[in-house]
């Protein structure tokens, strides 16, 4: 009994020590942030320099996801990390905090040491397939990492002012499409994007056009190109899947058509039909 008591006391002491050490670290970081405040203009300028460095870097800064029959485009976790690095005086972390039979829960915290603002974000990601079967351990790890990225992105972009995020993001979008100043260059970019979806993900032209609501490739404009490139980035990052991005709408429509096909048909039976049925004329 005495040994147990000693162990309990020791554990409490260790926990208190860890807390004091962590608190001391945070206090030191806050003091440093106050002593060396960020230069907002420099942070914005440096972020823009990085996101517009080349088309490849700019392309990673955008993501697109299908939501409610539409495709939503926004700043990606890669842009959030670039902003965080240049914004400075930030303490950020992301980790998986829970795994149950159906979901993995990720949590991220972004702490602006200079402004004394901390935001915590939690994200749940499904770990079952369309048939309800639970993922294997490797896929659960991958899903957890994707959840961490999403949570980290949301936390960082909640701490850094939206006006600054939008300013840097808009510059990235201008670079994403590259030079499409004339018809020939625009056609070449359209072909490059469409070929990329076909060769990399096996997505046919009709499926791509359906997502952006266009009748033909010739109607794809610069905004559509940003959306499609962001969608490819979201698939690469694990934010969405090929089926969810391109084939979920089709499956839903197919299911709705099937349900409509088996709807009961109300037939009004007239007296003349009843008489013919009695006489055996309409019996099968």
* Per-residue pLDDT tens over the stretch 108-152: 999 999 998 999 999 999 999 988 999 999 999 999 999 999 999
The more confidently predicted of residues 15 and 237 is 237
Residue 81, token pair as written in the block = 């990390």
The domain in which residue 225 lies consists of: 11-244
Strand spans (E) along the chain: 62-67, 70-75, 90-99, 103-112, 117-126
Q: In the prediction, which pLDDT does 2 show?
A: 45
Sign of the torsion formed by the C-alpha atoms of 220, 224, 230 and 235: negative
Residue-wise pLDDT for 163-220, tens only, equals 999 999 999 999 998 888 889 999 999 999 999 999 999 999 999 999 999 999 999 9
Residue 279 lies in a domain: no
Using CB atoms within 10 Å of the CB of residue 141, give its burial: 0 to 12 exposed, 13 to 18 middle, 19+ buried: middle
**90, two tokens:** 């930030």
- Does 282 reside within a domain? no
List, for residues 226-284, the tens digit of each pLDDT value.
Answer: 999 999 999 988 888 898 888 775 444 444 444 443 343 343 444 544 444 344 433 32
Helix, strand or coil, per DSSP, at residue 37: coil
Residue 83 lies inside a defined structural domain of this protein: yes
User: Do the Cβ atoms of 175 and 55 come closer than 8 Å?
Assistant: yes
Q: What is the pLDDT of residue 17?
A: 59
Q: Domain for residue 258, yes or no?
A: no
Q: Is residue 264 part of a domain?
A: no
Residue 254 placed within a domain: no
**pLDDT-derived band of residue 21, with 50, 70 and 90 as boundaries?**
low
- Number of structural domains, the chain? 1
CB neighbour list of residue 15: distance below 8 Å, 6 or more residues apart? none
Residue 266 falls inside a structural domain: no
Residue 250 lies in a domain: no
| pTM: predicted TM-score of the whole model, two decimal places | 0.74
Max alpha carbon distance in the chain (Å)? 101
Any idea what DSSP says for residue 259?
A: H
């Amino acid at each position: 009994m005495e040994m147990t008591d000693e162990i309990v006391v020791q554990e409490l002491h260790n926990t208190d020590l860890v807390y004091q050490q962590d608190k001391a670290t945070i206090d030191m970081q806050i003091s440093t942030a106050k002593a060396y405040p960020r230069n907002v203009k420099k942070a914005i300028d440096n972020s823009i320099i990085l996101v517009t460095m080349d088309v490849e870097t700019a392309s990673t800064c955008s993501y697109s996801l299908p939501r409610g029959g539409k495709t939503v485009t926004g700043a990606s976790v890669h842009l959030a990390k670039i902003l965080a690095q240049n914004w400075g005086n930030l303490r950020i972390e992301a980790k998986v905090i829970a795994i149950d039979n159906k979901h993995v829960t990720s949590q991220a915290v972004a702490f602006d040491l200079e402004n004394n603002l901390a935001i915590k974000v939690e994200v749940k990601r499904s770990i079952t397939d369309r048939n309800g079967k639970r993922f294997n351990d490797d896929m659960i790890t991958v899903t957890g990492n994707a959840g961490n990225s999403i949570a980290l992105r949301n936390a960082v972009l909640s701490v850094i002012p939206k006006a600054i995020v939008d300013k840097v993001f808009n510059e990235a979008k201008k670079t994403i499409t590259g030079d499409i100043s004339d018809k020939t260059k625009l056609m070449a970019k359209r072909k490059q994007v469409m070929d990329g979806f076909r060769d990399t993900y096996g997505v046919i032209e009709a499926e791509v056009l359906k997502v952006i609501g266009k009748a033909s490739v010739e109607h794809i404009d610069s905004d559509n190109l940003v959306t499609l490139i962001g969608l490819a980035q979201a698939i690469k990052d694990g934010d969405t899947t090929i089926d969810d991005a391109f084939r979920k709408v089709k499956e839903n429509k197919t299911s709705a058509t099937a349900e409509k096909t088996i709807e009961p048909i109300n037939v009004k039976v007239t007296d003349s039909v009843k008489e013919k049925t009695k006489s055996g004329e309409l019996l099968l």
